[in-house]
Amino acid sequence: RSEGQRLGNPFPRSFQAIRRNLPETRRRRRGIGVRYETNHGQVPVRLQEGPRLFDGGMTVSLRRVAAVSVTPEHTLSKQTQAEIELVEGLGVAGDSHMGETVQHRSRVAKTPLLPNLRQVHLIHEELIDELRARGFAVFPGALGENITTRGVALLDLPAGTRMRIGASAVIELTGLRNPCNQLNTFQAGLMDAVIDRDDAGNLVRKAGVMGVVAAGGRVGPGDDIRIDLPAAPCRPLEPV
């Protein structure tokens, strides 16, 4: 037993165990942690506070990187890595979508000189948990993301949010990933599984967010994630 457990600390060292010990009232569909609402102008933005738990002499962040992935080929899924390097203004070193101008093949064919607003793709690991529970054989990197996060309500962050990851990397969010039929090549029905409707009937795209690299650095599993919100008024993320 750990020292924290001997002293009666209810939070063992395992992140999985920490999540199991969180009260059910603090769980949310898109992330884990206390979230609150604020109005910037006319746009409601739901945010996550990124709680920390004390565990036997160490402070554990619940807002962190779960996995990182990259591939030089234009394939749907990416290979997980021990770490990746973000390059300012370009994207993820060695990744097929790295570049100042658009790299996605459908965009290159139509508008090759447009700026690349999709240098980095992030998905919340809670979505992977949800899809697995529904019978989909997904895993970090399977849906094409470079960074898999845990404890961050990615879909609720406004455009222009800066995510500070690890020692120096900064990603500025530009928009939502728009699910396409390519997801069904991984497993039938997957595209529909990452599309939802909110209480008002509006379309909810759950396949992650896109961003550009505002500052370079190395990123790996376990790195803390810190959120800097843009100045008001904020606008919600839209497909890019």
Compute, in degrees rounded to 10, the torsion defined by CA atoms 235, 238, 193, 124: -60
Task: Encode pLDDT of 97-154 as tens digits.
Answer: 999 998 876 776 677 889 999 999 999 999 999 999 999 999 999 999 999 999 999 9
One-letter amino acid for residue 182 of the chain: Q
Distance CA 56, CA 54 (A): 7
The rounded distance, in Å, linking the Cα atoms of 240 and 234 is: 17
Q: Could you report the per-residue pLDDT of 13-55, keeping only the tens digit for each?
A: 333 333 343 333 233 333 333 332 333 333 333 444 444 544 4
Neighbours of 60 (CB within 10 A): 17
pLDDT in tens, 73-88: 999 999 999 999 999 9
